[in-house]
Structure 1
Amino acid sequence: MVNSVYPCTITHVRTEPLRHSLRHRTYMWVIDPDRPPRMPWPLRLLARFDARDHFGGDEPTVRAGLEKFLAARGVDLAGGSVLMLAHARVLGYVFNPLTVYWCNDADGRPLCVVAEVHNTYGERHCYLLRPDASGQDTVGKEFYVSPFFPVDGDYRMRLPRPGERLNLTVHLERAGTRPFTATVSGERREVTPAVLLRAALRHPWPALAASAAIRIHGIRLYLRGLPVQPRPRHRPQEGMK
């Protein structure tokens, strides 16, 4: 399943204090960050994966940034494999609301999952997960993402390793309720120039479209009277931007 393209649908469903939903079609990549896909020129402009776009952005590779983040939390990959879900940099632009890293130990056994969250203010935060057999774990919310939710509550994340299907779910839980749910669902395609070109023609500048959709829906919520929550000062994690 390494180096695959997943045409997918991303949904955001908000239930409190008012109901609102977002549905966005795009495509994402699942890659081995140690051996990212290398497409023929000029298709490389549609599929770049840069270390500057992840973690602290100051390591030579994405893998090095991940290992630095994990080492600061007492986790050693010890040469184990990594699978990464992300948008690629397309025509010089990328925005990844959620990047997921599935990490195995040297014997190929699941070790941990890292969920890297980017907000629209250029900030990043990572959550270290120890999922159960269903791919699920719960972590406290520590990062300002939506301007309409304060930094409190928990995330219940179900992030099973992708196969022929990609099915991810993130619930925000606050005071016994689930006011927000995000899902990503898609079907695997083998990476070929034709598959990439077809996806790019259907969804040109996919990361830019995702960023624009988030901002447009934010404006709609503001116009409907949803109050904006104060944004706390961002304090980068160790090994993060």
Structure 2
Amino acid sequence: MNEPLQVKAYAAADFASTDQALVERLDQLLRDADRWPAHGDCLIDLGCGPGNISERLARRWPRCTVVGVDAAEQMILEAEDRRRQNSIPSDRLQYVVAPLPWHAPSSQASLIVSNSLLHHLHDPQKLWGCLRPLAGSHCLVLHRDLRRPSSSAELDQLCECYTADAPELLQRDYRASLHAAFTVEEVKEQLRDAQLDHLQVRELEDRYLEISGWITGCQAGLDQPSA
């Protein structure tokens, strides 16, 4: 996801509704647990791309520090350009070019999210294995991604429904992403291998899956997940 044309296409695409839905879901999970990000907390957006969700997190919780992480340098350059254009201070929103697994130099996170990252990873444990080292003592994680269709006919139907009017590049990438996506059962097995099987995995709508729950970071000196 580092080609300039690809970066520009994703930056120009309108993902506002799905991006906002993720932030609203975070609100719901925090409300259900009666836990909220506190002043100075670190919120991490893994696979942040051009910064769509990172910016929403920074605006939703302005007293926190948001860190967006992506392996694609061109995506981070686009995200930084947006941050400056939208006058968001760098002490509230920071971007890092780094592949997974990534380990923060200092802060332990109270919130870790990713959106459409998992299917890009040849080794899913690069995501799951970095969560505890990044997490603080009570960290909410929320990861959303596509899920693989059960048949080629279903895949064709999804492409026709959601990308028929999109640029050719996005149509191509969407089809490839559906092919590369995981099923709910495959994700549950990944979480068992990572000893994160207390996290909830559920199907969303006709094409997404969601992984959510609370974890305790290994930096806190605890090996067991928080309640």
Superposed pair shares fold, TM > 0.5? no
Q: Which has the higher contact order (CA 8 A, sep 6+)?
A: 1
**TM-score normalised by the chain length of structure 2:** 0.29
- Going by fraction, where is helix more abundant, 1 or 2? 2
- Going by fraction, where is strand more abundant, 1 or 2? 1
**TM-score normalised by the chain length of structure 1:** 0.28
